């Protein structure tokens, strides 16, 4: 009789610190596996605590509480399939990132992470200790399993050692956050492990938003030779079962589901929606508000918020001044109407006059300049924050990555708020995304179909409308040029010489470089937002606020 082994893959969405809630998700997955006749149910890395915990995991009471929930799961899930779940554990005063195998009411095996990532958003070297490579384990009368934990599978060493000591299938638990076009990188690395070791591999990734990171799922199974046997969907919770049979050549996964992966612009948009939705759900907020200016950035944020939360939970506020054009008033109203959200108007003329009068004895006959423009923005921020306080709505900010990079935003003004859905999206990408959303609708969107961002908003020249006839290009290079330079200086860490060699004007490059460096203090105080690239501001790129170095090549 052919030996079979059924594995339940639980691609789920934990919340950092919600130990009881995460444990319940694990129990539900285990129940689904038991009903399906699974031999083991596998959850992602650090699932009991959620991921990333950052320094919360250094608190001994938190780790002890997490271990108590692990042991409770072991007892509750004794009668049925094994349960594999990630979590932290102290061992001889050293803290490890572990993967626990629970069976028959006990922890029957424990993997300790060997390679600790210390780049981009990861900082595990300062949190955990590395341990020797763990050996394989068995949970039934089936294959010997090895579980390299996330980063362990990105290098040959751990998988090779596990297979050399008897592992016949590699089950890899992951907490791997999204960045654009990351899936092929993951897949290629896992194919390399399979080809090197001639065993099947199961890649299990978590989903959901945590602060600035969104875990995108996309779990999969590879057979020997690197052939894809199963592909789970991206960016949604799912539980799937994969069957392995023993053949003369070893264990082989039977063909399973093959989800279709969206293109990168669709994934970016869904990441922004999920990032906001989970940030709201996990922090306890229900409703949002934002300033809707009639410009493209606030329009796309309004669409993201509506798709994330539903139109009944989104309120847009127009705060016009004498510089606000009739076109902007009309466009903002049309955008709110298209989305079906509540729309209010609060004129800033009175507050602005009061501030101008209060400062007149100090300013005297000094000419108007950026000060007066920033006053308008800060009045808007004050009025929006007042509404946030009064109505319990989280204020969303609407600055794109181009503006965040060069400081084209007013601190304590349009930067005020709790979350920024487009923080890691350059302006040129915002235009592309608006056109995509108008042409596409998905079942995970809670907003309406059709043109939800008026074409007039997409087509008109961007303007802050803080002085007569103002255009963004009065202060900044054209966005296609600016974004090209920013991509090189920020995302690629290129030199000024590299930018010049790519065809950009040296004076323009130096000006952009200067703006990036002097705006660090603003970014330090800015709202979080979902990471779309592998060079997002905050954890990916940590620069000093005070920095007098400039690239003079």
- Give the model confidence (pLDDT) of 466-502 as tens digits: 667 767 777 789 999 999 999 999 999 999 999 999 9
Give the model confidence (pLDDT) of 267-303 as tens digits. 999 999 999 999 999 999 999 999 999 999 999 999 9
- Cβ atoms of 538 and 520 within 8 Å: the answer is no
365-383 average pLDDT score: 93
According to the model, what pLDDT value does residue 390 have?
97
pTM: predicted TM-score of the whole model, two decimal places: 0.95
Asked if residue 464 has pLDDT above 70, the reply is no
According to the model, what pLDDT value does residue 50 have?
97
328-354 average pLDDT score: 96
Which residue ranges make up the annotated binding site? 176, 182, 291-298, 374, 398, 403, 522
According to the model, what pLDDT value does residue 474 have?
73
Asked if residue 462 has pLDDT above 90, the reply is no
Q: What letter does residue 57 receive in the DSSP assignment?
A: G
- Cβ atoms of 291 and 398 within 8 Å: the answer is yes
Closest CA to 49 of 17, 77, 94, 10: 17
Which residue ranges make up the annotated binding site for L-glutamine? 176, 182
Architecture category of domain 4-256 in CATH: 4-Layer Sandwich (3.60)
- pLDDT grade, residue 152 (50/70/90)? very high
Which residue ranges make up the annotated binding site for deamido-NAD(+)? 374, 403, 522
According to the model, what pLDDT value does residue 119 have?
85
Give the model confidence (pLDDT) of 74-131 as tens digits. 999 999 999 999 999 999 999 999 999 999 999 999 999 999 999 889 999 999 999 9
According to the model, what pLDDT value does residue 470 have?
67
403-428 average pLDDT score: 95
Strand arrangement of the beta sheet that strand 220-222 belongs to: 145-146, 169-174, 201-205, 220-222, 228-231
Give the C-alpha separation, 484 to 494, whole Å. 11
According to the model, what pLDDT value does residue 341 have?
98
Closest CA to 516 of 377, 373, 402: 402
The domain ranges of the chain are 4-256, 268-524
Give the C-alpha separation, 364 to 451, whole Å. 48
Lowest mean pLDDT among 26-30, 88-92, 369-373: 369-373
pLDDT, averaged across the chain: 95
Asked if residue 553 has pLDDT above 90, the reply is no
Place of tokens 């298209």: 338
Give the model confidence (pLDDT) of 178-229 as tens digits. 999 999 999 999 999 999 999 999 999 999 999 999 999 999 999 999 999 9
Catalytic residues: 45, 113, 150
- pLDDT over 70, % of the chain: 99
231-250 average pLDDT score: 96
Q: 268-524 maps to which CATH number?
A: 3.40.50.620
Give the model confidence (pLDDT) of 489-543 as tens digits. 999 999 999 999 999 999 999 999 999 999 999 999 999 999 999 999 989 999 9
- Cβ atoms of 391 and 286 within 8 Å: the answer is no
């Amino acid at each position: 009789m052919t030996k079979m082994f059924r594995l339940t893959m639980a691609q789920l969405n934990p919340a950092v610190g919600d130990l009881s809630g995460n444990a319940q998700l694990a129990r539900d997955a285990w129940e689904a596996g038991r009903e399906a006749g699974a031999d083991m149910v596998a959850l992602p890395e650090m699932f009991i605590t959620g991921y990333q915990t950052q320094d919360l995991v250094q608190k001994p009471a938190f780790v002890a509480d997490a271990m108590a929930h692990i042991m409770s799961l072991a007892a509750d899930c004794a009668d049925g399939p094994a349960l594999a779940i990630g979590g932290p554990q102290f061992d001889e005063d050293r803290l490890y990132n572990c993967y626990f195998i629970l069976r028959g009411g006990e922890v029957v095996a424990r993997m300790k992470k060997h390679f600790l990532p210390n780049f981009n958003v990861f900082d595990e070297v300062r949190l955990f200790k590395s341990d020797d490579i763990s050996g394989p384990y068995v949970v039934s009368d089936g294959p010997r399993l090895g579980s390299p934990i996330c980063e362990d599978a990105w290098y040959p060493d751990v998988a090779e050692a596990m297979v050399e000591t008897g592992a016949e299938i590699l089950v890899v638990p992951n907490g791997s956050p999204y960045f654009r076009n990351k899936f092929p990188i993951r897949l290629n690395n896992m194919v390399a492990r399979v080809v090197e070791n001639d065993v099947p591999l199961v890649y299990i990734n978590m989903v959901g938003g945590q602060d600035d990171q969104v875990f995108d799922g996309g779990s999969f199974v590879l057979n020997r030779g690197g052939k894809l046997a199963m592909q789970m969907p991206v960016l949604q919770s799912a539980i799937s079962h994969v069957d392995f049979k023993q053949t003369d050549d070893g264990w082989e996964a039977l063909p399973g589901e093959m989800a279709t992966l969206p293109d990168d612009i669709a994934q970016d948009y869904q990441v922004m929606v999920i990032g906001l939705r989970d940030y709201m759900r996990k922090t306890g907020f229900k409703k949002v508000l934002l300033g809707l200016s009639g410009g493209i950035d606030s329009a796309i944020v309004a669409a993201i918020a509506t798709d994330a939360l539903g139109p009944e939970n989104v309120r847009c506020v127009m705060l016009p001044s004498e510089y606000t054009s009739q076109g902007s008033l009309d466009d903002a109203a049309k955008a709110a109407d298209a989305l079906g959200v509540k729309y209010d108007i609060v004129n800033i003329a009175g507050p602005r006059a009061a501030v101008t009068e209060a400062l007149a004895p100090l300013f005297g006959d000094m000419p108007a300049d950026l000060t007066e423009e920033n006053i308008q923005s800060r009045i808007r921020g004050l009025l929006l924050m007042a509404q946030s306080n009064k109505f319990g709505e989280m204020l969303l900010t609407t600055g794109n990555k181009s503006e965040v990079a060069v400081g084209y935003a007013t601190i304590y003004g349009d930067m005020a708020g709790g979350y920024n859905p487009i923080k890691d999206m350059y302006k040129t990408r915002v235009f592309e995304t608006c056109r995509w959303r108008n042409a596409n609708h998905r079942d995970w969107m809670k907003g309406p179909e059709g043109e939800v961002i008026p074409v007039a908003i997409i087509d008109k020249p961007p303007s802050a409308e803080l002085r007569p006839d103002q255009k963004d290009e009065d202060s900044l290079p054209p966005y296609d040029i600016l974004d090209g330079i920013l991509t090189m200086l920020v995302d690629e860490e290129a030199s000024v010489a590299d930018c010049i060699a790519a065809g950009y004007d040296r004076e323009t490059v130096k000006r952009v470089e200067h703006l990036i460096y002097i705006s660090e203090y603003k970014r330090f105080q800015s709202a979080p937002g979902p990471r779309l690239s592998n060079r997002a501001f905050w954890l990916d790129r940590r620069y000093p606020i005070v920095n007098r170095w400039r690239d003079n090549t």
